[in-house]
A and B are shown apart, each in its own frame.
Chain A
């Protein structure tokens, strides 16, 4: 066992942190207020290699490991949670499945520009009527000659407005449940689809969340990602990795909330002393610092598991569950430490509460993470099944 970062990981950390300090933190409040896509930040992410952190250099990526990705995600999300989710989706939900399941043609055509940030990706699994129960989806992809014809509506698509490459999960055989599902790379330039409702959200307002409308959209059969019927596996395996990114996003949000609360607690006085010296505030700050560390280690454990080719699903579920709920707790306490100032937009505390909240919902709700962890834990003890 050893807990040191390599030189490269340390370099990634420092690069990400300085970008966050200089370019993300000063703009994060405005990005939230105006709800505008942080285009300049995303452009810099591309230049830093952060849109394809764990993609081989051969395919246009930075060629780092998944631990480096988690480290960068934390720092970027500390600077701006909206930029964080855009980065997470492009890396984990778009580049990753093409890297893992794509053929060389697909990698050359889509992975390279996505990893280089010349194009931006989104991932379409959820629908208006199906989220956690992914196999309950209605969207169909029916083979017709050399194309699949797509019909249906996808919901809650991060970067849906800006993205022009979409990983789509749909029923290629509607008579089956899990086994009738396939994955596709849908290129919006080649197969134009509609952008439906753009959601007005509680937080992460700089990233767009839209529905995607497919009305007889033809997608070439060569765009299918993996074999027919493998789509559910593609989706689930992709989400295992995505959870590391979102957990790191939650951690980054908690870090900035904690840092600002700590600073405020050293400035503000009451009853003749600095509030940070009262036992009640001290206890909150100590707990926040402890839980932030715990979350980071769970995330790093999952990322290293992924790098080592282990079955890391349980670890990424633990990381996502703990980090997201930790982030909500930490942001709640950070707002409380600010008192009334925490409730107004003059300070950032209220934004962090809003941004943290989504991490308990997307890419697998806390309820789904608990289900995954409980099953894995119970199986390990279940002698009747061995």
Chain B
């Protein structure tokens, strides 16, 4: 048992921290208000090796583990959770799927891993997406061996910026995944609805109208990699939530030390101290659960639903901590002049990613019902 970062993890955390201080903290407010986008920041993150974290060095990536990715994302999310969401999607969900599917086109993999091109994954269709059997997007094998893809995908992160998307589709034999060039004929990208939070994150709806996908881009059975991709999505969402939680805690405590009422800083009043203690404790627990699950995913594989436990705890404590921090700010917390309202919105939005805590509770409960010892 050891809770210290190793040298590589510490080095990467520090480099992300200084990147956030220099290149994210200031523009984050503007990105969130829709002025300019974070494209340039994404390019610079590629330079730090953060767009191919899980890809082996041989294939042009950083060759690091899930835990190191989670640590980086938590740090990045302290500056901007929407930016972190894009980085998480590219690394864990999209590249994570590609790696799990055994994709071996080295030059293409290298382009994604080095950030020369961004990759997204389009799975959700806006209704019934928790029920994998009801994918309405279809892929039909053509005479020349290529696939013809038809359907509509909603709220795809990086949908506008990515060059390619992994798309899940139904065939007669079951759900498959295809790697689709988003500049191909028949693809339409539409800017998605604006979300309440994570506004820096690029989102698009993707429509595929008889899009021809070469046979070489067939990624196999989508169900076979679903649990690995879901685990990566959940653990990275939890990591982003940690960053939001830490940012919100810092905002609340810093404000409470400055703001005076009745002749003393409000930080000296017990109701404020109580909330501070609860927030600090919940953050600590959320971090430990997240690091442990990420460590398990990096080594032997997650056990006893540790990923779902981390996600539930991290997502729900982010919202509680952000809510307390906003409340500590009084009326100022409700204005865009302070970053706490953004943390509050980001926390609320994170809860709907990666299926959300309610679905994860069902996963844990199902494991318990089948005799898994859920707690030891």
Select from chain B the residue with minimum beta-carbon distance to A376: B280
Q: A297 to B292, alpha carbons, bound, how many Å?
A: 9
Q: Which parts of B153-185 form the interface with A (CB within 8 Å)?
A: none
Task: Known A262-B368, A381-B253; judge A294-B9 contact (CB<8 A).
Answer: no
Asked whether A54 is an interface residue with its Cβ less than 8 Å from the other chain, the reply is no
Contacts of A15 in B (CB 8 A): none
Q: A302 to B280, alpha carbons, bound, how many Å?
A: 14
Asked whether B281 is an interface residue with its Cβ less than 8 Å from the other chain, the reply is yes
Select from chain A the residue with minimum beta-carbon distance to B2: A2
Q: Which parts of B1-47 form the interface with A (CB within 8 Å)?
A: 1-6, 9
Whether A300 lies near B309 (C-beta < 8 A) is no
Per DSSP, are chain A's interface residues mostly helix, strand or loop, or mixed? Answer: helix
Select from chain B the residue with minimum beta-carbon distance to A4: B1
Asked whether B108 is an interface residue with its Cβ less than 8 Å from the other chain, the reply is no
Asked whether B112 is an interface residue with its Cβ less than 8 Å from the other chain, the reply is no
Stretch at the interface among B190-198, B200-208, B283-291: B283-291
Choose among B257, B285, B312 the residue that contacts A378 (Cβ–Cβ < 8 A): B257
Contact with A along B247-270 (1 / 0, CB 8 A): 001100110110000000001001
Q: A376 to B253, alpha carbons, bound, how many Å?
A: 11
Q: A6 to B276, alpha carbons, bound, how many Å?
A: 35
Q: A203 to B313, alpha carbons, bound, how many Å?
A: 30
Q: Which parts of A280-326 form the interface with B (CB within 8 Å)?
A: 282-283, 285-287, 289-295, 297-298, 300-301, 304-305, 315, 318, 321-322
Q: A97 to B300, alpha carbons, bound, how many Å?
A: 40
State how many angstroms separate the Cβ of A109 from the closest Cβ of chain B.
34
Task: Known A255-B375, A283-B365, A304-B3; judge A374-B276 contact (CB<8 A).
Answer: yes
Contacts of A378 in B (CB 8 A): 253, 256-257, 267, 273, 276
Whether A5 lies near B281 (C-beta < 8 A) is no
Contact with A along B48-91 (1 / 0, CB 8 A): 00000000000000000001000000000000000000000000
State how many angstroms separate the Cβ of A252 from the closest Cβ of chain B.
11
Asked whether A370 is an interface residue with its Cβ less than 8 Å from the other chain, the reply is yes
Contacts of A305 in B (CB 8 A): 3
Contacts of A125 in B (CB 8 A): none
Whether B2 lies near A304 (C-beta < 8 A) is yes
Q: A294 to B310, alpha carbons, bound, how many Å?
A: 9
Task: Known A282-B365, A285-B365, A381-B253; judge A371-B309 contact (CB<8 A).
Answer: no
State how many angstroms separate the Cβ of A264 from the closest Cβ of chain B.
13
Whether B369 lies near A266 (C-beta < 8 A) is yes
State how many angstroms separate the Cβ of B275 from the closest Cβ of chain A.
8
Whether B313 lies near A294 (C-beta < 8 A) is yes
Choose among A255, A276, A298, A384 the residue that contacts B369 (Cβ–Cβ < 8 A): A276
Per DSSP, are chain B's interface residues mostly helix, strand or loop, or mixed? Answer: helix
Choose among A283, A304, A377 the residue that contacts B253 (Cβ–Cβ < 8 A): A377
Contacts of B4 in A (CB 8 A): 1
**A contacts with B, residue count (CB < 8 A):** 51
Whether B284 lies near A298 (C-beta < 8 A) is yes
Q: A295 to B309, alpha carbons, bound, how many Å?
A: 12
Whether B2 lies near A1 (C-beta < 8 A) is yes
Whether B2 lies near A370 (C-beta < 8 A) is no
Contact with A along B284-321 (1 / 0, CB 8 A): 11101101100110000000111011001100000000
Select from chain B the residue with minimum beta-carbon distance to A375: B273
Q: A292 to B366, alpha carbons, bound, how many Å?
A: 17
Choose among A1, A285, A372 the residue that contacts B5 (Cβ–Cβ < 8 A): A1
State how many angstroms separate the Cβ of B271 from the closest Cβ of chain A.
11
Choose among B249, B308, B375 the residue that contacts A258 (Cβ–Cβ < 8 A): B375
Contacts of A377 in B (CB 8 A): 249, 253, 276-277, 280
Q: Which parts of A214-246 form the interface with B (CB within 8 Å)?
A: none
Whether A290 lies near B312 (C-beta < 8 A) is yes
State how many angstroms separate the Cβ of B168 from the closest Cβ of chain A.
27
State how many angstroms separate the Cβ of A266 from the closest Cβ of chain B.
7
Q: A297 to B290, alpha carbons, bound, how many Å?
A: 11
State how many angstroms separate the Cβ of B98 from the closest Cβ of chain A.
26
Q: Which parts of A366-386 form the interface with B (CB within 8 Å)?
A: 369-378, 381-382, 384
Max chain A Cβ within 10 angstroms of own Cβ: one of B2, B267, B360, B365: B365
7 contacts between A and B (CB under 8 A): A1-B3, A285-B368, A289-B368, A290-B289, A294-B288, A318-B284, A375-B273
Residues on B facing A (Cβ under 8 Å):
1-6, 9, 67, 249-250, 253-254, 256-257, 267, 270, 273-274, 276-278, 280-281, 284-286, 288-289, 291-292, 295-296, 304-306, 308-309, 312-313, 358, 360-362, 364-366, 368-369, 374-376
Contacts A282-B369, A304-B2 known; list 11 others, CB within 8 Å.
A2-B1, A262-B374, A276-B368, A286-B368, A290-B308, A293-B306, A305-B3, A315-B284, A318-B281, A374-B273, A378-B253
Residues on A facing B (Cβ under 8 Å):
1-6, 9, 67, 255, 258-259, 262, 266, 276-277, 279, 282-283, 285-287, 289-295, 297-298, 300-301, 304-305, 315, 318, 321-322, 369-378, 381-382, 384
Q: Nearest 5 pairs between A and B by C-beta?
A: A282-B365, A374-B273, A297-B288, A370-B277, A286-B361
